Amino acid sequence: MVFSVAADAAIAAKAGVLNPLAERFGYNDPRRPDSGEPPDWRRTVRAIVTLSRANGLDAEGLLASAERSVETYRALLPSPAADGAALDEALAAALAAAVAARPAQPSATAAKDLPTIRAAHERASRGEVLNWPIWAKLIKVACARTKDGPVYAEALADLIAAAGRHVDHPRLRTETEQFIRETFICAAEALTAYHNWKAERGLLDFTDQEALALEVLKDPVRVGRLREHVGRVFVDEFQDSSPLQLAVFTALAEVAEESTWVGDPKQAIYGFRGADTDLTQAAFTGAGDAAEPQDVLSKSWRSRPGIIELSNALFIPAFERMGLPAAHHAFSSAARSDVGFDRPPIAWWPLLGKVDEQAQALAEGIRRCLANASQWLVEGARREHRPLRSGDIAVLCRTNTDVARFARALSRAGLPVAVERSGLARTPHVELVLAACRWVADASDRLALAELARFFGSDPGSDDWLRAAASEDAPAALRAQVPVADALERLRERVLSLTPAELVDSVLALPTMMAHIEQWGDPAIHFDDLEALRGFAAAYEGECAASGAPATLQGLLLSLDGADPKRPPSLARDAIQVMTYHGAKGREWPMTVLTGLAWEPKARLFEPVAEVDGELDWRAPLERRWIRFWPWPYGQSGKDSALEVAAFTSEIGQAAWRRAVHEDIRLLYVGVTRARDYLVFAPPAKGTLNWLKLLDEPDAAPHVVPPAADDNLLSVGDQTFVADVRPLAAIDAPEERCPQLSFVRPRSAPVERSPLYLRPSQAEGGDWRVVERVSLGGRLPIDGVADMAALGEALHAIIAYDDVCRDTAQRLADADATLARWGVKGFAAVDALTASERLCAWLRTRWPNGNLLHETPVTARFGDQLVQGRIDLLVSFEDGSAIVDHKSFPGRVDQWEGHALRHAPQLGLYGEAVAAVSGRSCDELWIHMPVVGALLRVERTE
């Protein structure tokens, strides 16, 4: 709140520049309800200021960071086109052609994108500049060629090709670079204004105290006096330290005779808050080299032995790859015993159905456990064993959206739930009270009056309040729909004598107001939220009193918006706790349920992040640091765009990905070690468990193998653990009707016969792994390609036909003709030849004397079945053969392995066919991805 007051003028001064740019990047576009907070450049400014202070950067450091951000961002974009106006004109013409060619009765596929095309055409016709999310959306438009006709399909292909040039547009580069610089300038000015505001009032915040402490520790005179008073330094929870804090701790270690740092680098999970986990781990490694064995607290006093053994099996290999040796980070033993427990400590409960059904399934599973609580014994405070209770259970989730989903499902199952949710100020009952306060403070606030009319409407779906707001005498019409209007007007007469907190209390004291809120149901929860609002208002007044600033209602509203306080958890003592993994740190429960196991890591590429040049030096943690900010210009669009792929594959992007993977592994460790008596894995029954796959060693078999359908063994590495396995499903299935009697003789069961032909493209099954990766070069530009399947066919043909020894002009002409024959637009012939040349160069290196057989037909007999197909590239050499299969996959590097493994059974069947026909082994099976420039060799797991 203090920062908002102090820096408001500096931030507001940049609104005239940054607001239009943010509009161009889709910051104000409508968003899905589950997509989180909308982007806001003001929050970005605040994040940059917070990072700068935690990393010891001043205003000049922020301006230098702006140039570093521009420099690195510019490297992600190709060279700009010479004429941006020509690109705009080409897009406008393609839009006009698409609108003119639209079918009278469009297919469902075409109808979905027509509003986007029509709106973009109308804006372009008016001469408006289209924002970048529109360009990105137009790349994804589609139709059903058969129903919508070839004319419209060709028009869309031209439109996609024109929109795909957005990454070449000079205006994209100009606007993103301006946005970066202006955001950093705003942050630098806000930082200066904040410092000046505090200095004028003689105020310090916590970060100021840290910075001043570091200044003291750099003064030789003061350090000499400190040595007389400081004998030993203790630091707790060291793993969550910021670089500035680490600098203070390092300097203190030079002052004191002894320094003790206590922490667990395996629980460093707050990188999103500015903690530098790489830096603190380097400090642990450097400072811990001299650690004695007794300095490592390796015995677990919390969990049952089975949970400790599972934790070691899960995480030791991954932690060692992260530079955390088992000698310092593995559990040596458990202080507790399994005596007195009737069940194993591990459970595996796969959740059936869609997302909401999975939440209902878990709720039903927990309800059944509690119904049979005597079968789930837990250890009490006095080491006695007692039945499981609701308050013994915690459900951990990856996101606040998941928290709300599982909390709703548990409540519907009749179970008490305690959940801390975000968005106190966005709940309807709090919005009602704040609207009343706003109208009391300002009788001309028609928006507040309209909100009151809407909230007091008897029918939530009624639009009476909207008609009242649009009437000739809107204030009177709206006021007539607010039953507390008279009481609020009487309150307005004495509003000048009320503080903001007193005004909130006075509104809550109105009987009609509270009676209306009670009608909405869940009064206990609503009253808890209103108490939290009262507490926030009181705290706001306390901060104002301490800083000497006036406490106003507008200030309270701004403070609520900036702080976004959470809703309080349920006050029920014996309630199931539902929270995020981050919120669970430092806590424990007899039964801990882990959800969200399909979660995929997300590198922080397009948000402010602290970076460091060169190698980390934990003894000089503030040196060579800068803030990186790469803006995302496509709103909610642009997935897998050239910009995203370039950012991900860059050196900075790969480092960010590695940090994200490591932090997610540590977060999973935090979840596992919250369990005291029972650890329950609750994964979706179908799909890839991406979070658990992070524990896999590269190019090795899966580290975690879930129990089979008819088994109760969970395999982790070379160990197995007995688990309580119970697939869970929601119980809202329709009741089975009474069976009808049949008076017809049943037919004999049909004999199942295998198909005559085995098609390799339909092969599946087996355990496969990627054993080798080869990079051929960068990703080829495909943002303007409408039909990836057609591009794949064209690339197959070009690679098969192309001969790098032929005349280049003729090769280009042939490639152009092939692309045209397949109707591929937005992809250059020179890029197709690049794919061919890269593969050819690698083949010459791999098999100098190999015989290359392109598009090779193969037929082989296996028992009563025939395998028939065509191999993209068969390489025959003296000792055997190899298969190379082309896949025009455009995804990010983290998706390559999964795509290759999906096609591994196809190559495996081809390999068996070649071996059966030729009598020689086919040992090497390669997936070639020409678009991304990669080769992956797959192999069956023995």
Q: What is the mean pLDDT of residues 663-686?
A: 95
Here the tokens at position 576 are 């199931």
Report the C-alpha gap between 481 and 499 in whole angstroms: 28
Mean pLDDT for 592-609 is 94
Residue 176 corresponds to which tokens in the numbers above?
């993103």
How far apart, in Å, are the Cα atoms of 553 and each of 71, 354, 434, 441, 505? 44, 45, 9, 8, 13
Q: How many angstroms from the chain centroid is the CA of residue 91?
A: 32
Give the per-residue pLDDT at 746. Answer: 55
* Cβ neighbours around 231 below 10 Å, total: 10
DSSP string, 741-792: P--SPPPPPPPP---SEE-GGG---S-EEEEEEEE-SSPPP-TT-S-HHHHH
Cα torsion angle, 153, 158, 161, 164, sign: negative
Per-residue HEC secondary structure of 317-337 comes to HHHHHCCCCHHHHCCCEECCC
Query: pLDDT, tens digit, for every residue of 891-918?
Result: 888 889 889 999 999 999 999 999 998 8
Above 60 in pLDDT, residue 564?
yes
More confident residue, 562 or 148: 148
Residue 497 sits at φ, ψ, to 5 deg, of: -95, 5
| The pLDDT of residue 34 is above 60 | no
- Looking at every residue in the chain, the average pLDDT score rounds to 88
Give the integer Cα–Cα distance in Å for 564 and 4: 13
CB 530 within 8 Å of CB 436? no
Element (H, E) at 204: none
Is residue 567 within 8 A of residue 368, CB to CB? The reply is no
Q: How many residues does the chain have?
A: 942
Concatenate the DSSP letters of all residues of 587-653 into one string.
Answer: --EEEEEE--TT-------SS-EEEESSS--TTSTTTTEEEE----TTTT--TT-HHHHHHHHSHHH
Q: Which residue has the higher pLDDT, 598 or 761?
A: 598
Measure the CA–CA gap between 280 and 618, rounded to whole angstroms. 7
Q: Are strands 724-725 and 346-348 parallel, antiparallel or unpaired?
A: parallel
- Among 164, 79, 820, residue whose Cα is nearest residue 812: 820
> What's the confidence (pLDDT) of residue 733?
42
> How far, rounded to the nearest angstrom, does the alpha carbon of residue 263 sit from its chain's CA centroid?
27
Q: Do the Cβ atoms of 50 and 164 come closer than 8 Å? A: no
Q: What is the mean pLDDT of residues 731-748?
A: 48
pLDDT at 225 over 80: yes
Burial of 209 (0-12, 13-18, 19+ CB in 10 A): exposed
For 634-647, what is each residue's pLDDT tens digit?
988 888 888 999 99
Q: Which residue has the tokens 């496509």?
A: 634
**551-560 pLDDT, tens digit each:** 888 888 888 8
| Mean pLDDT, rounded, for 542-563 | 82
Predicted confidence at residue 276, as pLDDT, reads 80
For residue 277, pLDDT over 70 is answered with yes
Q: Which amino acid is at 735?
A: E
Residue 52 is given by DSSP the state: H
